[in-house]
Structure 1
Amino acid sequence: MLSRQFVRQNPEEVRRALDTKGVDVDLDHILDIDEEWRELKAEGDNLRHQRNEVSSKIGELKREGDEEEAEEAIERSQELKEELEAVEERADELEAELERALLKLPNVPHPDAPVGGDESDNVEVDRWGFDDRRDLPKAVIPHYDLGEELDILDFERGAKVSGGGFYFAKGEGARLEHALVQFMLDLHRDEHDYTDVFPPLPVNSASMRGTGQFPKFIEDAYRLGGSNDEDYDDDDLWLLPTAEVPVTNMYRGEILLDDDLPIKHQAYSPNFRREAGEHGTETRGIVRVHQFNKVEMVNFVRPEHSYDRLDGLLDEATAVLEALGLPYRVLEMCTGDMGFTQAKKYDVEVWAPGDDMETGPEVGGRWLEVSSVSNFEEFQARRAGIQYRPEQHESAEYIHTLNASGVAVPRVVVAILEYYQNEDGTVDVPEPLQPYMGTDVIEGQEPVGESAVGDQ
């Protein structure tokens, strides 16, 4: 979150952030609350000073035998006490209201971030793997059809068990997901110096607030044992939408030491989001689903190192796709598409050739986001109370947090099934995954059940 001091001193910068990020918040109301709160704090200090002066005179008047003036001083002290209590009560109410309002303000974009309203204003900054991409079948079968033909993806039974937006990965499909997760964890640990973390899947409301999911995105979350409204407390539990939430909040309310930094954690988790699957044609297959696997990288660094680390994170995310030989591009996100919490953000999109959608005739296929590489600066750290102490004798400062998916699994599965597809409908396994899969080709399996008889 933004500090009240920053908002107070930089209202026009905050107003620009609201405008360029497309967030509708009444900033003038927040400034009015802050002004009234500061006036009440000053009034409270004045009343407290007056009461202390009156109280100090009471004993003196009694010693001098002036009982009448002493009684008047006692009455005045009581009046000042009641006035002070009323002022403090109102100040506490305003402070709570101010804190709630500040949670609704987005992070201020980095000055270099492209200004724009939506995804059409994002800027492509890199593209890899197209000049020497492999020969594809004349008609690439989309992953959702191929997955069913090979019987490695089962959408109908997933919907039967859990509803729309869920699926079964079967046989080589399940092995492919497992192989991708383990390959990514090994890559980031062995080559990028990450420490593995296996987080709890339910997270509390304080954790969701700490990383910025609440209150803005509360409707997208899966709550355990309750309805989605704002009457939540810290005992409520939610299924995590990303491992960013528990891993970042590991250090909530703590002061880290300079010698601890940088901290680089990675975590595999399944992730749960209600919003997935509500985007037209992307509801087909596993591009947008309500549960998906992902490896997440979370970094904690000194403020002066965070933008160098952002570049490093981008390299670490794209290293996965380069190792797998999958073509991709990198977009620098404009202000209107970067998100609520980010100061600067890149999206990494893998190329999947199975559908002709919006990528244009020079490439065909479509782009699928597999990683968002983000610098939050101190925005999350301030919400979660994560600080570090540069030196033992110095005051604690807010740390900078960053994260990136390293990477989201289902869309990489889509890209592999479509990009490494052969004319006979089999799929080559990328070389780095072959030791994990125990095979170099996905051939599929015979379906089971009476419903499969007609297909044989």
Structure 2
Amino acid sequence: MLQVSYIRDNREQVLERLAVKNFKQPQLVDEIIELDLEYKEVDSKLQQTRGRLNELAKRIGEFKKAGIEPPNELLIDNTFLKNDEKDFDIRLDRLQTELDAKVVLLPNLPHISVPTGKSADDNQEIFKHELYPILPVNAKPHWELASKYNLIDFELGVKITGAGFPVYKGKGAKLQRALIAFFLDEAENEGYKEFMLPLMVNTESGFGTGQLPDKEGQMYYVGNDELYLIPTAEVPITNMYRDVFLKNEQLPIKACGYTPCFRREAGSYGSDVRGLNRLHQFDKVEIVQIVKPELSYIAHEKMCLHVQNLLEKLELPFRILRLCGGDMSFASALTHDFETWSAAQKKWLEVSSVSNFETFQSHRLKLRYKNEKGKNEFAHTLNGSALALPRIVATLLENNQTEKGIKVPEVLVPYTKFEWID
């Protein structure tokens, strides 16, 4: 959440950066500034009224102390001023509510390195690891391989729940479990502390990390209990530090967790959502960091290197994209997406997003720390997929298919306990 004081003092810069994100309501900036000005004016009048009430209280008290009935005009003035005080309080509450309602509609400002653009077509490719496999002539997409080797049953998932909820079987289930264990072990090696997390969060948690009110329609809602199924482990992990005042020496915080993730919006129809390409429920290991502001972009780079290392160990071709303003999330200041090459489908599939939110989430979370100089500061928060499983599984199956079967990457064999899927 942007601070009103920053918006007021940096109006032109705020409008310029919001334009990079193609924000459609720039008038909100001026509306917020006008409301803030009105709030300050009313607050000033309230303080003046309270000052006069204090003076009156002293004068009335002096009369009573002397055993003299206070003059009637003082009592009348006191009554009028108390009524004014109540009116000003009511107006301030109303203005604060209006101000809060408008401020939460502003997305985070993009970092200066974020390119302009309207869609994924305008993202910048900043790195490519070209390790393209040579496939058999009759190479199949992952959904056909999953059926051939009895790894995933999409129709059974439809029967049990609906489209987008696959059932993993046999070696397919073991491959999932192997990837989760591998990703968690790699995160632990990088100093991330593992957490087992709730799969549902309350409204305050959704607001804290920016899913609410921006992505309310994309989350599964449990109405009777007013809870949301998590779209990613980022939400419960980061919210562990909501309303927390950290000590300087506690930073940086590095946390990770494996959870199923739930998304109502499964995207378009056709090949884009075929098989594992886009699901309503999927598994993911998430890494989160809470750091001092001056170190957050160093942390972002290290998180990207961690994801890059995972993909290299899995021997997958991949590329890294710097998202343009029009393709970024509501809360992000900078996002790098990782995509793996699906050899059988002949297209890139997103498998990770690593984002720096700067202070956007911490303002919502009221997540602060005391710096070296003893000053209270808002921390910076970051998160990344390390990694999301469905498309990793899809590209592993497709890129490692041979006439003999599917070769399991060497790094996963200690986890799967088998080298081939055949």
Check whether TM > 0.5.
yes
- The 1-side partners of 2:30 and 2:186 are apart by 49
Q: Structure 2 counterpart of 1:49, which letter?
A: G
* Cα RMSD for the two superposed structures: 1.6
Superposed displacement of residue 66, structure 1: 6.7
In the other structure, the counterpart of 2:305 is 315
2:53 to 51, 54, 66: 51
Tell whether the 8 Å contact from 1:13 to 1:108 is kept in structure 2 after alignment. Answer: no
Measured against aligned partners, the alpha-carbon deviations of 1:410-453 in whole angstroms (never above 9, x if no partner) come to: 110000010001125x211000111111110111xxxxxxxxxx
Superposition map of 1:186-201 within 5 A: 186-190=185-189, 192-201=190-199
Q: % of aligned pairs identical?
A: 41
Measured against aligned partners, the alpha-carbon deviations of 1:240-287 in whole angstroms (never above 9, x if no partner) come to: 100000000111001111111111111000000101243542221111
- The 2-side partners of 1:219 and 1:39 are apart by 38
CA spacing shift, 1:154–1:13, aligned 2, 3 Å: same
In the other structure, the counterpart of 2:347 is 366
- The 2-side partners of 1:404 and 1:19 are apart by 25
Superposed displacement of residue 6, structure 1: 0.6
In the other structure, the counterpart of 1:408 is 388
Measured against aligned partners, the alpha-carbon deviations of 1:331-380 in whole angstroms (never above 9, x if no partner) come to: 0111111211111110011111111xxxxxxxxx1111111011111111
Superposed displacement of residue 188, structure 1: 1.5
In the other structure, the counterpart of 1:35 is 37
Tell whether the 8 Å contact from 1:247 to 1:298 is kept in structure 2 after alignment. Answer: yes
Superposed displacement of residue 15, structure 1: 1.9
- The 2-side partners of 1:65 and 1:147 are apart by 94
CA spacing shift, 1:51–1:277, aligned 2, 3 Å: same
Tell whether the 8 Å contact from 2:18 to 2:110 is kept in structure 1 after alignment. Answer: no
The alignment's TM-score, normalised by the length of structure 1, stands at 0.89
Superposition map of 1:272-291 within 5 A: 272-278=262-268, 280-291=270-281
Q: Structure 2 counterpart of 1:124, which letter?
A: E
Structure 2 gaps, min length 5: none
1:429 to 404, 408, 414: 408
* SS state at 2:127 partner: strand
- The 1-side partners of 2:181 and 2:396 are apart by 16
In the other structure, the counterpart of 2:139 is 140
Tell whether the 8 Å contact from 1:55 to 1:73 is kept in structure 2 after alignment. Answer: no
Superposed displacement of residue 62, structure 1: 4.8
Q: Structure 1 counterpart of 2:14, which letter?
A: V
Tell whether the 8 Å contact from 1:123 to 1:333 is kept in structure 2 after alignment. Answer: yes
In the other structure, the counterpart of 2:319 is 329
* SS state at 1:377 partner: coil
Tell whether the 8 Å contact from 1:207 to 1:249 is kept in structure 2 after alignment. Answer: yes
1:385 to 350, 361, 366: 366
Superposed displacement of residue 137, structure 1: 1.2
Structure 1 gaps, min length 5: 227-234, 356-364, 444-456
CA spacing shift, 1:408–1:63, aligned 2, 3 Å: closer
Tell whether the 8 Å contact from 1:277 to 1:290 is kept in structure 2 after alignment. Answer: no
The alignment's TM-score, normalised by the length of structure 2, stands at 0.96
- The 1-side partners of 2:241 and 2:282 are apart by 25
Superposed displacement of residue 18, structure 1: 2.9
Superposed displacement of residue 155, structure 1: 0.9
* SS state at 2:246 partner: strand
Which stretch has the larger CA shift, 341-350 or 136-145? 136-145
* SS state at 1:108 partner: coil
In the other structure, the counterpart of 1:158 is 157
Tell whether the 8 Å contact from 2:20 to 2:115 is kept in structure 1 after alignment. Answer: no
2:220 to 206, 213, 222: 222
In the other structure, the counterpart of 1:208 is 206
- The 1-side partners of 2:134 and 2:123 are apart by 30
- The 2-side partners of 1:18 and 1:432 are apart by 43
* SS state at 1:251 partner: coil
Measured against aligned partners, the alpha-carbon deviations of 1:26-53 in whole angstroms (never above 9, x if no partner) come to: 3222222222111111111111111112
- The 1-side partners of 2:121 and 2:36 are apart by 37
- The 2-side partners of 1:139 and 1:262 are apart by 50
- The 2-side partners of 1:257 and 1:220 are apart by 35
How many corresponding residue pairs?
420
- The 2-side partners of 1:163 and 1:72 are apart by 75
Q: Structure 1 counterpart of 2:302, which letter?
A: G
In the other structure, the counterpart of 1:171 is 170
- The 2-side partners of 1:84 and 1:402 are apart by 44
1:250 to 231, 240, 251: 240
1:300 to 282, 290, 297: 290
CA spacing shift, 1:250–1:88, aligned 2, 3 Å: same
CA spacing shift, 1:299–1:63, aligned 2, 3 Å: closer
Superposed displacement of residue 395, structure 1: 2.7
Superposed displacement of residue 404, structure 1: 0.7
Tell whether the 8 Å contact from 2:4 to 2:32 is kept in structure 1 after alignment. Answer: no
Q: Structure 2 counterpart of 1:197, which letter?
A: F
* SS state at 2:325 partner: coil
1:419 to 384, 399, 409: 399
In the other structure, the counterpart of 2:14 is 14
Tell whether the 8 Å contact from 2:282 to 2:389 is kept in structure 1 after alignment. Answer: yes
